[in-house]
Amino acid sequence: MKNIKTIQLGQDGPHVSKLGLGCMRMSSIWGSPTPDETESIATIHEALDSGINFLNTGDFYGAGHNEMLIGKAIKGRRDDAFISVKFGAIFHNGQWLGMDLRPLAIKNFINYSLTRLGIETIDLYQPSRMDNSVPVEDIIGTIADLVKEGKVRHIGVSEITADQLRKANSIHPISALEIGYSLADRQTESELLPTARELGIGIVAFANTAEGLLSGDMKAPLAVDDYRNHFSRFQGENLVNNLRKVEVLKQVAASKGCTPTQLAIAWVNAQGDLVMPLVSMSRRSRLPENIAAMDIEFTPEEMNILNTTFAPGAILGGTYLER
């Protein structure tokens, strides 16, 4: 990699960039307009040029639009990119209907993804969530069959319990765990993350700014049409309390000459060699600041201030990350 350190996904897995590019926001989400496609492709190209090779998508992002976009971006550059795809979530008219993790469905999903991406093999393939609707053995066993067929290189999981992770890894080596993780969302530190570390599984951490809470830009109350109003974390006194905590983050960031967003990413990066911050971007202008965040280091005092202020449970109210 040119400017980015690397991380190994799994004990015998691939080495990829320690900063991942989340491509979700390059498509329409929750009814939002689709960003400029030319800019999105240029962002992927610049990320690849900078050494960020981990590209994360889902077959349900923009109803397949995201995969087609990535396919265009990596045409002629397949060897530069490591493609991570989530599957299983079913949407209709922008509304989430549930999961389909049946082996028959997985075998169908993979072929559509390969066609949209314009590739022969997906580097990392993973169910977007385990909801106990289908036995773990059937899900992971089916993906293992796809590995044998040459359609998948490595298996990942996302939004899973510690017990499910152990079971999945016993069926086939799991390379990566994708999970929401930030200063504001530390509930996985009790069981799930220690289990992943014990098993040598890479941790792909998304939502580093906790849906914008840690960006330093949020103010109470939110706009009436803001989707985050649905979650109690962003409502009433909960939001007021949570933004008081964010003031501490802003103070530490100011003292270090960086933004709160950069500090939030840096904190995730500092959680160990097995942890990759996965940052969603759709504009090239975001790349330099996010890359720079990977070089931020903390003094013991600074880390103590952040860990104390944002101790598990300090952020009030629920969010979609707490299922």
Domains by residue range for the chain, with CATH? 6-212+261-297 (3.20.20.100)
Owner of token pair 């899973």: 160
pLDDT of residue 94: 76
Lowest mean pLDDT among 93-97, 128-132, 268-272: 93-97
**CA of residue 130 relative to chain centroid, distance:** 16
Would the pLDDT of 6 be above 60?
yes
The residue-averaged pLDDT of 160-165 equals: 96
pLDDT of residue 2: 57
pLDDT of residue 41: 97
Share of the chain above pLDDT 90, in %: 89
Give the integer Cα–Cα distance in Å for 34 and 28: 4
The residue-averaged pLDDT of 20-43 equals: 90
Residue 101's pLDDT band (cuts 50, 70, 90) = very high
- What distances in angstroms separate CA 193 from CA 26, 50, 69, 79, 261, one per listed residue? 29, 29, 32, 30, 22
Q: Contact 65/28 with Cβ under 8 angstroms?
A: yes
Give the integer Cα–Cα distance in Å for 310 and 245: 7
> CB within 8 A of 8, min separation 6: which ones?
14, 15, 202
The residue-averaged pLDDT of 187-193 equals: 96
Among 244, 157, 234, CA closest to 203:
157
pLDDT of residue 93: 81
pLDDT of residue 263: 98
Q: Contact 125/143 with Cβ under 8 angstroms?
A: yes
Residues recognised as catalytic: 61
Among 105, 104, 116, CA closest to 74:
116
Give the integer Cα–Cα distance in Å for 275 and 238: 29
Q: What is the pLDDT of residues 48-58, one digit of tens each?
A: 999 999 999 99
Owner of token pair 């109210």: 317
pLDDT of residue 35: 87
Would the pLDDT of 4 be above 50?
yes
Among 9, 52, 83, CA closest to 292:
52
Would the pLDDT of 20 be above 80?
yes
Q: What is the pLDDT of residues 209-265, one digit of tens each?
A: 999 999 999 999 999 989 899 999 999 999 999 999 999 999 999 999 999 999 999
- Mean pLDDT across the chain, nearest whole number? 95
Question: Global pTM?
Answer: 0.95
pLDDT of residue 112: 98
pLDDT of residue 1: 44
Would the pLDDT of 173 be above 60?
yes
pLDDT of residue 322: 65
Would the pLDDT of 272 be above 80?
yes
Q: Bridge-partner residues for 91, per DSSP?
A: 96
Q: Bridge-partner residues for 122, per DSSP?
A: 152
Would the pLDDT of 142 be above 60?
yes
Q: Bridge-partner residues for 206, per DSSP?
A: 180
Strand 95-99, strand 89-92: pairing:
antiparallel
